[in-house]
């Protein structure tokens, strides 16, 4: 089992979780960040990377994706560590007041305080309504994300979807897999126009197959996937031998396991004390979109403010006997850990 030890474990690599790393670093607290998504940035990377944001102080406008890149640069001096593509499932509080966290892939994180920056919850794949699909999950032939393209080397693949991920992975995996078929229910693509052109070119060159106006409607196999049925909008169907089926229909957020952690909740959000954004469990803090208090605004700016105050609270929880003295970064620069 992979085990990590740190001062603060931050759940969620959205803008608020990332900025919390900076604020913690100023107090010389080490951070480990966990996110269910394979990339950092939360909603900014997942939903609107190319949209400009206008209400970040000091930036009259900045693209969401660029803000995430800047936040990553800003926290570099503190060398945070990351576990991406894994969801935090449960926690245990140890006798000395520290915590043990476990992720969906069994990673263990030992930490002195927890900062939940889980936003809208963890983004989970949207699953098509195909009977018995779930029985082929967990390595048995159905994958909702491509974590390691090598998993698919020399395989026969069917990818489904019409967005950027479906197009991008079709292009990439055409070189890795033995056969790739992209099935899309429509005739136009939501993804980037040049990616759609590339997929069409691969199809014409015989390097990938493109099946439009169709859906994957059935999956077959015994313990392991061995074929899928593709049904066209006009009702004609074909069954194709495959090793893996990768439905890529985007992600949808779910509050998920944090809901069952025994924290005081209100309207699906974690109630906090605005002095330090502590929750009803000492040592666990909640910042950003996931928390609630009178007057709460779900804005990045407000999450940044909460991160700064939260770190003071976490510092006191971790070091009950140490006195904290505020130091301006203009005086000392950015310290390293």
Partner 1 sequence: MTDEVRVYVEEAPGQRTEVVGPTDMGLNLMELLKASGYDIQATCGGMALCGTCHIEVLAGPDLDEPGDDEMAMLESLPILSPGSRLSCQIRITERIDGLVLRLMPQTA
Ligand X SMILES: Cc1cc2nc3c(=O)[nH]c(=O)nc-3n(C[C@H](O)[C@H](O)[C@H](O)COP(=O)(O)OP(=O)(O)OC[C@H]3O[C@@H](n4cnc5c(N)ncnc54)[C@H](O)[C@@H]3O)c2cc1C
Pick out the residues of the known binding site for FAD.
35, 43, 48, 88, 123, 289, 330
283 binds, among partner 1, ligand X, none (CB under 5 to 8 A by kind): none
Cβ partners under 8 Å of residue 96, min gap 6: none
Cβ partners under 8 Å of residue 232, min gap 6: 211, 213, 214
Show the tokens assigned to 236.
Answer: 């004609």
Which DSSP letter does residue 30 get?
-
Residue 25 vs 121, nearer CB to ligand X = 121
List 210, 299, 308, 309, residue binding ligand X (CB under 6 A)? 299
Q: Which residues in the 272-291 window bind ligand X by CB under 6 A?
A: 288-289
Least distance from C-beta 161 to partner 1, angstroms?
Answer: 6
Least distance from C-beta 117 to ligand X, angstroms?
Answer: 5
Q: Is residue 330 a contact residue for partner 1 (CB under 8 A)?
A: no
* Alpha-carbon span 222 to 244, nearest angstrom: 14
Contacting range for partner 1; rule: CB under 8 A; set: 21-29, 71-79, 200-208, 250-258: 250-258
Q: Give the residue ranges of DSSP H helices in 145-192.
A: 164-173
Give the E-state strand segments of 104-224 in sequence order.
108-116, 122-125, 156-160, 179-183, 209-211, 214-221
Q: Is residue 258 a contact residue for ligand X (CB under 6 A)?
A: yes
Q: Which residues in the 71-100 window bind ligand X by CB under 6 A?
A: 87-88
Residue 55 vs 264, nearer CB to ligand X = 55
Show the tokens assigned to 187.
Answer: 């005739």
Size of interface with ligand X, in residues (CB under 6 A): 37
Q: What is the residue-wise DSSP string for 199-224?
A: HHHHHHTTSSEEE-SEEEEEEEESSS
* Cα-based angle 99, 124, 156 (whole degrees, multiple of 5): 120
List 22, 27, 43, 208, residue binding partner 1 (CB under 8 A)? 43
Give residues in contact with partner 1 (CB under 8 A): 43, 47-48, 120, 124-130, 133, 161-163, 184-186, 188-190, 247, 249-250, 252-253
Give residues in contact with ligand X (CB under 6 A): 11-17, 34-37, 42-44, 47-48, 53, 55, 87-88, 117-123, 256-258, 288-289, 298-301, 303
């Amino acid at each position: 089992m992979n085990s990590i030890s740190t001062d603060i474990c931050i759940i969620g690599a959205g803008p608020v979780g990332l900025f919390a790393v900076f604020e913690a670093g100023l107090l010389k607290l080490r951070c480990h960040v966990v996110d269910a998504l394979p990339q950092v940035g939360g909603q900014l990377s997942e939903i609107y990377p190319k949209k400009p944001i206008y209400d970040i102080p000091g930036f009259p406008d900045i693209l969401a994706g660029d803000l995430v890149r800047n936040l990553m640069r800003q926290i570099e001096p503190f060398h945070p560590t990351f576990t991406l593509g894994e969801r935090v499932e449960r926690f245990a509080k140890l006798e000395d007041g520290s915590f043990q966290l476990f992720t969906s892939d069994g990673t263990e994180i030992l930490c002195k305080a927890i900062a939940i920056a889980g936003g809208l919850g963890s983004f989970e794949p949207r699953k098509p309504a195909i009977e018995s699909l779930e029985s082929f999950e967990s390595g048995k032939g159905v994958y909702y994300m491509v974590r390691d393209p090598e998993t698919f080397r020399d395989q026969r693949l069917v990818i489904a979807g019409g967005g950027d991920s479906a197009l991008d992975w079709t292009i990439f995996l055409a070189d890795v897999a033995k056969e790739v078929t992209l099935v899309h229910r429509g005739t136009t693509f939501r993804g980037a126009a040049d990616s759609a052109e590339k997929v069409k070119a691969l199809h014409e060159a015989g390097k990938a197959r493109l099946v439009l106006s169709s859906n994957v409607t059935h999956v077959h196999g015994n313990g392991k996937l061995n074929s899928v049925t593709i049904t066209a909008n006009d009702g004609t169907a074909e069954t194709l031998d495959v090793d893996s089926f990768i439905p890529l229909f985007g992600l949808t957020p779910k509050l998920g396991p944090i809901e069952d952690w025994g924290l005081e909740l209100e309207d699906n959000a974690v109630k906090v004390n605005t002095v330090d954004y502590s929750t009803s469990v000492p040592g666990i803090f909640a910042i950003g979109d996931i928390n609630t208090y009178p007057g709460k605004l779900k804005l990045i700016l407000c999450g940044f403010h909460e991160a700064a105050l939260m770190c003071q609270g976490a510092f006191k929880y971790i070091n009950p006997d140490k006195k904290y003295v505020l130091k301006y970064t203009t005086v000392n620069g950015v310290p390293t850990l």
